[in-house]
Chain A
């Protein structure tokens, strides 16, 4: 079985959409999504809403690799957490406006992603997951050792939230949410652009048939490294906003459980759907918030069980299932119209 290491995912990944480019349903969904984005902090506690968006972009960055390039990174905590620390340090020591600090964190994430990606793409399939996991753990140890810089087990506390002269610290982070959401939106837009570009098409080709892509003259490893670095940048953007939102960066952000959690969010949303990440994040973050506030202690039991159940029974994820239902409906209607 070791000879069949190239992806044999049973989910129909990232097919061209069934809806035509001008279909009003597309615009309706986009408008609906934006409306939800704007109204979210009215419905739920704004910091929780911010968490949903951060984890959503984080999951989208993982999906960019898993769904569109066919690489399961199990070490994305390195970029999320690495950026959280870097953003925190920049904001604390240089006193720059926090969006600048977040961009700095994202750039840092891309800088560490390059060597990790360079080494990791030398292995494919499940090995890639193991190698990325190991490198992320290495970064965790480094952060734990560099106590002077990272605060060790105490983490980096009291990260300032200066926003071009204003200290954006409020009781419920209501206004902060909109600034953070705008930054996350930029990240989502970048991911969407990448996926729907000629570059993104090559990534899909690499995923589906690396040998063929190579035969067509594409340097498969280079494309994988580029995708890895872009994905790390998006994860870094999300991690930076997350750190500013919590005004805190801790070792938890670098732990392998964080890498696992984001894969859970991605799979729950639907692999290869891009938008699914946001839905998955909505479910997971709300659930965790609910469990934490109800005093339930064994969160691992719940997340672990969800993981097992999704992988066994619900591999298309929420968005993927919805998309399949829509596809079946549209095809059915077209067929009936033809008859």
Chain B
């Protein structure tokens, strides 16, 4: 039982990274119609930047948690202004390919600069060690990471559902044509929303930094699982991205615990099942063919 709880917590913590990133992916897709392949690379950049901040400038985890998303927001704004913007009017596959190329550049650049071995990062003071609840030992950081991502997801959810900005973004996500018809300039929200989505990926990277190996390749597998997440949740749905994120995190953790040989395959089997039974995803709407 105690082992089961531990796996559950690990799964929820990993799911938090997925949920945060998938949320960013979903918001970007909703408003821009762009599937950002470089989302995994942005997650990697978030982790690498926090490691470099710590090593070079002795900037700790808590500051990184604020600074890195801001930096990544700037990066996202630049990316949208300089590159993504020019292809928005075309088929989404062009931006998919563009961001794929960008991924290759980012991964190779980090690899050349910092090598292939992992950068060091420590669990921040105060969050180390374990806490015992009855007979169960749980990692404090995992609890923190899990709670933190839930809080951010809820905050973003509130931002999207309770504020006027959120209403506009949501409307642009779910029915861009109708939103435009109601006199709202959807295009104005494109750049900040893209930056925001990238910032979320960067935030997930910072959160992952203390527990995962920080390498140039850490985003490569991540992005593919992220795609599975949004296929399962339904890319058009913001709630779907978050729920599927945690679901996939759990499935992955149980897989690693109980069937290590098949751990990484289980997620894709889950995706195959969802595509078979409910092609538009668990929370997705029927797609216009």
Which stretch (A127-135, A243-251, A321-329) binds chain B?
A: A127-135
Which stretch (A18-26, A79-87, A118-126, A280-288) binds chain B?
A: A118-126
Is A298's CB within 8 Å of the partner chain B? Answer: yes
Shortest distance in angstroms between B236's beta carbon and chain A's nearest beta carbon?
5
Those of A282-301 within 8 Å (CB) of chain B: 297-301
Complex formed: what's the CA distance from A122 to B262 in Å? Answer: 25
Given A2-B235, A304-B101, A305-B105, output 17 extra A-B contacts at Cβ < 8 Å.
A7-B93, A8-B90, A120-B275, A122-B279, A124-B287, A126-B93, A127-B235, A127-B287, A130-B231, A134-B271, A137-B224, A263-B97, A304-B104, A307-B97, A308-B98, A311-B97, A315-B94
Is A211's CB within 8 Å of the partner chain B? Answer: yes
**Contact call A127/B98, Cβ cutoff below 8 A:** no
For A308, give its contact among B35, B102, B108, B231 (CB under 8 Å): B102
Is A210's CB within 8 Å of the partner chain B? Answer: yes
Those of A1-32 within 8 Å (CB) of chain B: 1-10
Chain B residues closer than 8 Å to A306, beta-carbon distance: 101
Complex formed: what's the CA distance from A303 to B108 in Å? Answer: 10
Is B56's CB within 8 Å of the partner chain A? Answer: no
Complex formed: what's the CA distance from A127 to B285 in Å? Answer: 14
Those of A163-212 within 8 Å (CB) of chain B: 210-211
Chain B residues closer than 8 Å to A256, beta-carbon distance: 220, 224
Chain B residues closer than 8 Å to A210, beta-carbon distance: 289
Chain A residues closer than 8 Å to B289, beta-carbon distance: 6, 124, 210-211
Complex formed: what's the CA distance from A298 to B107 in Å? Answer: 10
**Contact call A134/B227, Cβ cutoff below 8 A:** yes
Is A91's CB within 8 Å of the partner chain B? Answer: no
User: Mind listing 11 A-B residue pairs with CB under 8 Å?
Assistant: A2-B29, A5-B92, A72-B96, A74-B96, A127-B287, A131-B271, A131-B275, A145-B265, A301-B104, A311-B101, A312-B83
Mark contacts of B87-116 with chain A using CB atoms, 8 A cut-off: 1 yes-contact digit, 0 otherwise: 100111110111011111111110110000
Report whether over half of chain B's contact residues are helix, strand or loop; otherwise say mixed.
Answer: helix
Report whether over half of chain A's contact residues are helix, strand or loop; otherwise say mixed.
Answer: helix
Complex formed: what's the CA distance from A311 to B88 in Å? Answer: 12
Chain A residues closer than 8 Å to B227, beta-carbon distance: 130-131, 133-134
**Contact call B92/A126, Cβ cutoff below 8 A:** yes
**Could you say which of B29, B32, B94 has the most chain A C-beta atoms within 10 Å of its C-beta?**
B94
Is A155's CB within 8 Å of the partner chain B? Answer: no
Number of A-B residue pairs with CB-CB distance less than 8 Å in the complex they form: 149
Chain B residues closer than 8 Å to A119, beta-carbon distance: 272, 275-276
Complex formed: what's the CA distance from A264 to B272 in Å? Answer: 27
Shortest distance in angstroms between A69's beta carbon and chain B's nearest beta carbon?
13
Is B75's CB within 8 Å of the partner chain A? Answer: no
Chain B residues closer than 8 Å to A34, beta-carbon distance: none
Shortest distance in angstroms between B157's beta carbon and chain A's nearest beta carbon?
20
Chain A residues closer than 8 Å to B268, beta-carbon distance: 134-135, 137-138, 141
Chain B residues closer than 8 Å to A307, beta-carbon distance: 97-98, 100-101, 104
**Contact call A304/B105, Cβ cutoff below 8 A:** yes
Is B192's CB within 8 Å of the partner chain A? Answer: no
Is A260's CB within 8 Å of the partner chain B? Answer: yes
- Closest 9 pairs (CB-CB, A-B): A307-B101, A1-B33, A300-B108, A304-B104, A304-B105, A138-B268, A130-B227, A308-B101, A122-B279
For A3, give its contact among B96, B176, B262, B275 (CB under 8 Å): B176
